[in-house]
Structure 1
């Protein structure tokens, strides 16, 4: 049976200050690695972003989406599916947001003032999906673990940016305790790529298909 592999957590240098390669370069790397698609999840404007904060909201969003748009253009050219998402930031607690788009971001210029709970509620109201990214990671910039079990849809339990395997073990136990779906991602920045992801038995059509397939459990987590 053919399997279709997807990266779920990826940053481009167009929008994320920590990334060293472009969206188009990521696409070529993942195509060569045999993946069927990627989700671009750049750090949002209040996180580890390289987008100037003194610009009007519309211009910030235009620049923020460039990594995805450049990846999508290259993906369409060489045959790799590219989906849009982002990594939301709340005082070092981060969430991957799937299922919404650039238009949604443009329509919510006040979103950086929302609490975690309001943010997740608004995302859900418009059909989005919330994954708690690396929930048990501790780093100098992450002083404490903060959990939001009542407002998330899934838990990232494999993250190749977690240099302590205990972070992933705790995330898996947490997801099991909540009976939530689990995901795996490279957390790719360019110096590492194509190290994890999800294998599906069918080719993913769009972001909603991605979300529904995760909800249904029709996949296998991969760490290379």
Structure 2
């Protein structure tokens, strides 16, 4: 989805939605492997968004909170370490789940998670408010996906900042078409991601900007200021 910009200017591609085998039960590639996959594909950076403990996590839920968070963060930390010494950027995020309704959460860090052991005990609306109170940014991931683990479509247009209008892993076009219509109906910001889980299948999603991003705050600011040149994966 082309959003404008000169074809001659240098551009920078970023993945906004991917999982690692360190924390997501459905992923087969490590954080380090994801770095090389995306570097080879010409991306400038990635945001690690592993499934949180209320989603398809591979972390033992019976462990103490601090230990769970340390294990959960390994995909990001291993990816970050692998990219050190290069221009490739690795940012931290996660995918929070409410009975299959999922929210990509950006702008908060490991310390936030360590400081909030109540995250699994509060309701979804409280979670969304807490993220915003602490300066976070939320994109509703694949809001119209139909799958056995999603009992019903739940929409929260007044509680999210953006909608993932392109999830490049979708084989059914209507899921993304409905997501785009939903975002436009409610004047919500738009994101795109691949939802990558494996090195053998990179769907080509992500977002293109006319400048490099150095922090997750740069990403959020660029989205809020409509600096996106293209949403990939359509």
TM normalised by structure 2 equals 0.94
- 1:174 — aligned with what? 182
Which aligned pairs between 1:71-82 and structure 2 lie closer than 5 A? 71-82=79-90
Poorly superposed stretches of 4+, deviation over 3 Å:
none
SS of match in other structure, 2:85: helix
Contact 1:93 1:145 survives alignment (8 Å): yes
Unaligned runs of 5+ in 1: none
Return the match for 1:210 from 200, 207, 219.
Answer: 219
SS of match in other structure, 2:104: strand
- 1:68 — aligned with what? 76
Unaligned runs of 5+ in 2: 1-8
Q: How many residues align?
A: 224
More deviation, 193-202/119-128: 193-202
- 1:85 — aligned with what? 93
More deviation, 192-201/25-34: 192-201
Looking at structure 2, the residues matched to 44 and 26 of structure 1 have their Cα atoms a distance apart, in angstroms, of: 19
SS of match in other structure, 1:82: strand
* C-alpha RMSD over aligned residues: 1.0
Asked whether 1:221 is paired with 2:225, we answer: no
Which aligned pairs between 1:97-136 and structure 2 lie closer than 5 A? 97-136=105-144
- 2:34 — aligned with what? 26
Looking at structure 1, the residues matched to 10 and 106 of structure 2 have their Cα atoms a distance apart, in angstroms, of: 25
Asked whether 1:53 is paired with 2:61, we answer: yes
